[in-house]
Structure 1
């Protein structure tokens, strides 16, 4: 490994910055990289567990609180509220923490979002009726707060992984972090199944035993978050933030050397010389407008934001409302509550094992070979075709063969995750300059969650027009349209494979410290 000079008289700050970044980009893949993936990945495991557990918990809540008054189902407004609440909080958290991580640092923010998740998870599991507030109001409140923490995890984990990663493994590392979402969704179903089976006799004796089951399922969601909290609070600041935002080049160089050699921060480093506050571009509203006001930069932000929006319309529209899929594969409702819940949970496990989990890991192992943009284009393209088939042939397919339907739906799940559901997370963490990297990712992710909110509200309002699930075919047709627009928006983003973060920023790196970043490369 070449040494990174620290003496101001030996080489200027600009060259030392580039040397330090080159060392990070070309470092040998080691334990710290693995640790960063694990610590970030546990957060996404927790996020998806908490987000998608409500899909199963909502069924249990229907039996406990509406066993007689509403045929053991939550009223549509209540069902929509408890499912969409976390998405609302997530959208706010993505934007807010995205900005805060660029303003105050990745390290200062990392861990705060996990504390919010832990507190909100415990609070949600203890929600109950009271004279002042209904159990639904409690659950919605805590799920909004939960979403705030989950939202913060998106830009923070993406940017921290991206800024510590080597260039030739960056996409795979980010994809591996996001792939933990699949295991989290699967774990929520497996945990629910285990607890349900353990309570079988109690449930069959008294349906209200499900009140304990859903609380345990929700409450266990905070366990992995607690396990990861210490490691998040002690993760070092990224050298890129130290050099490019705090404008402390010498400290950033030393941190980069310590990271490469020991996988840790260098500790306190005092520098009093005037050059330490170097003339690197500084984040401000006027600078933000100037940077993204250029078409070559603005189109990238629009491309990452819209493609994520289009994706989440279908991804969350289906993910939190998959009862029609379970019916198609023979896991419909049953007169016995225990049996109905058992079938619902097993059906969710089957769907995730067949398509979702494999799709994530295909991306992990191919993203550095195929590239981000080809995977996203291919995924959106295949989803467009599949939703056209499922939408316009829904009645014919379901009447002809449930096997054919589940094959097509499984392929859709596969190409969500071996496709835009992974790449829309990766690309925004790569294509913006350090001072706006977290903000850009937060804007893109929040755009996606806005699509998720529209889908969840719209799905609940539209799916039963003309009868139970009578409008499903039209919703699938709408999903096809959104997938096609996502395909088109992908042409606005660059291919990031094999390129350094500085190269992707579109800013001149030779004169960066001396204020030349605004010049075209």
Structure 2
């Protein structure tokens, strides 16, 4: 039988949308803006790194990063992110959300700057230093996932909670867009400033010494939004759900939320003590009770995020290679180094502006009306359809008159990723697990996603770089090809659609109703009548 909700939590659930909600979205969202900028800006400069550090004098073509080096540069931050999600997710449940929140930002600021200052006597030293700092940058970014999602879910009201959490994640779209815009500005400025007779195009495509500044400036810019957010993060009070349900401090929870909501809230210390003794509020992550109540939920959130990120990150990190394969970006030897950065940034900015960013905000607008389940299922379905539409007639799209059609359909895959599972896989784990395990379970789900991203980054790198059997002039063995890569991604998206049926629908319910944390005798009855009211398998 469900018990009466704590007054402080009920006040949060029923609160009208007000200024503190938007403040929390901006503070948490700026972390995600920085996360996306840092993770995806590397794809804008990897070709430049190859030109600068791996060009062989007298070679017929500009230098490119060897596959193992490119995999390390692109993927090392994802490895750090996975580790950070697990570590800071666990720490957020042990020490509190706010206590850990500042650590992640400091790490991001320091490592963003250090990444741009990667120096060495030879190319290997520069790349090794860059990879070292990119790992720790990813470690800080990883902490932002469970903490931002958990903080926003615990601050939000139940009516618009999905939109608020999705709005935090939607800042990722602006971060990707900002990476493209900053790269456009920096490369355009350098291209104009250093255009001199000695800097004209030659048969192999020129690379001036000043080009080394471009990638450093682009990477270091990621420290700016993170640094601007630090003060406001430290001013946020701890969430009432952590303070009351985990730290068992009813007085502090009531005092903090009284200030935030500007209403008088009773502390209810006796009720908090009573809840603390309930069996439903004491089982651990590795207990049989957790497996019974939330085991399938955790399988659902981890598998869908894992499958989604295989497709999403391989597309984002290597879309420059796909655009080159269909001829949308000219061959490297026809451009100088700065112009190549500009063309890659222009292509990725266009995709972000026309499909990535709108997709996120469609989710924000509709998630509390359509529900998480419907949006995620729809997103995976259309991603599958569009991937196969690109893959099956792939050679048709490589013909010059059809390239725009390829880009349009390719853009739709990004739109439905973001108006779909890329947003919902972030939202749902912050809602369906108990407060004392919420950050940990979100971290596990997110880390599963990053494991998929690592597969996308490392596994599909070779397919993207070695598009067909004719591309062997760099000495690399032929890969499985862009066409087969797209087919594999289509299958991955289809599997994501199937595993979505393990994910519950939290729309319109309080967090405690979903997790059973205010139960006194037994859990709430599960209503399986329709996707809009389903709580998922238990």
Q: Same fold (TM over 0.5)?
A: yes
2:295 to 294, 298, 319: 298
Going from structure 1 to structure 2, the CA distance change for 1:314 and 1:131 (only over 3 Å counts) comes to closer
* Unaligned residue ranges in structure 1 (runs of 5+): 1-13
Is 1:491 the counterpart of 2:479? The answer is no
Q: Distance in 2 between matches of 1:284 and 1:152?
A: 25
RMSD of equivalent CA atoms: 2.7
Q: Deviations over 1:362-407 (max 9, x none)?
A: 1111111111110000000111111112122211232361122112
Q: Distance in 2 between matches of 1:277 and 1:193?
A: 55
Q: Deviations over 1:124-172 (max 9, x none)?
A: 1110114897011101100000000000000000000000001111111
Aligned counterparts, 1:344-355, within 5 A:
344-355=344-355
Deviation of 1:284 after TM superposition, in Å, equals: 7.5
Would the aligned equivalents of 1:356 and 1:417 in 2 still touch at CA under 8 Å? yes
Q: Where does residue 531 of structure 2 map in the other structure?
A: none
1:134 aligned counterpart, secondary structure: helix
Q: Where does residue 397 of structure 2 map in the other structure?
A: 397
Deviation of 1:90 after TM superposition, in Å, equals: 0.2
Q: Where does residue 432 of structure 1 map in the other structure?
A: 433
Q: Where does residue 203 of structure 2 map in the other structure?
A: none
Q: Which TM-score applies when normalising by structure 1?
A: 0.90
Going from structure 1 to structure 2, the CA distance change for 1:259 and 1:474 (only over 3 Å counts) comes to same
2:26 to 14, 34, 38: 38
Deviation of 1:235 after TM superposition, in Å, equals: 1.1
* Unaligned residue ranges in structure 2 (runs of 5+): 200-206, 472-478, 527-538
Deviation of 1:256 after TM superposition, in Å, equals: 3.0
Deviation of 1:227 after TM superposition, in Å, equals: 0.3
Q: Distance in 1 between matches of 2:278 and 2:259?
A: 23
Deviation of 1:325 after TM superposition, in Å, equals: 3.4
Would the aligned equivalents of 1:158 and 1:426 in 2 still touch at CA under 8 Å? yes
Is 1:196 the counterpart of 2:190? The answer is no
Aligned counterparts, 1:174-213, within 5 A:
174-204=165-195, 205=199, 207-213=208-214
Q: Where does residue 13 of structure 2 map in the other structure?
A: 25
Deviation of 1:287 after TM superposition, in Å, equals: 5.6
Q: Distance in 1 between matches of 2:389 and 2:270?
A: 66
Would the aligned equivalents of 1:247 and 1:280 in 2 still touch at CA under 8 Å? no
Would the aligned equivalents of 1:428 and 1:437 in 2 still touch at CA under 8 Å? yes
Going from structure 1 to structure 2, the CA distance change for 1:65 and 1:30 (only over 3 Å counts) comes to same
Aligned counterparts, 1:387-426, within 5 A:
387-399=387-399, 401-426=402-427
Q: Distance in 2 between matches of 1:199 and 1:277?
A: 62
Would the aligned equivalents of 1:249 and 1:276 in 2 still touch at CA under 8 Å? no
Would the aligned equivalents of 1:64 and 1:72 in 2 still touch at CA under 8 Å? yes
Going from structure 1 to structure 2, the CA distance change for 1:229 and 1:77 (only over 3 Å counts) comes to same
Deviation of 1:192 after TM superposition, in Å, equals: 1.0
Q: Distance in 2 between matches of 1:353 and 1:174?
A: 21
Q: Deviations over 1:290-315 (max 9, x none)?
A: 33320x41111110110000000010
Going from structure 1 to structure 2, the CA distance change for 1:222 and 1:517 (only over 3 Å counts) comes to farther
Q: Where does residue 320 of structure 2 map in the other structure?
A: 323
Q: Where does residue 247 of structure 2 map in the other structure?
A: 246
Q: Which TM-score applies when normalising by structure 2?
A: 0.87
| Matched positions, count | 498
Deviation of 1:445 after TM superposition, in Å, equals: 0.3
Q: Where does residue 4 of structure 1 map in the other structure?
A: none
Going from structure 1 to structure 2, the CA distance change for 1:274 and 1:230 (only over 3 Å counts) comes to closer
Q: Where does residue 475 of structure 2 map in the other structure?
A: none
Q: Where does residue 5 of structure 1 map in the other structure?
A: none
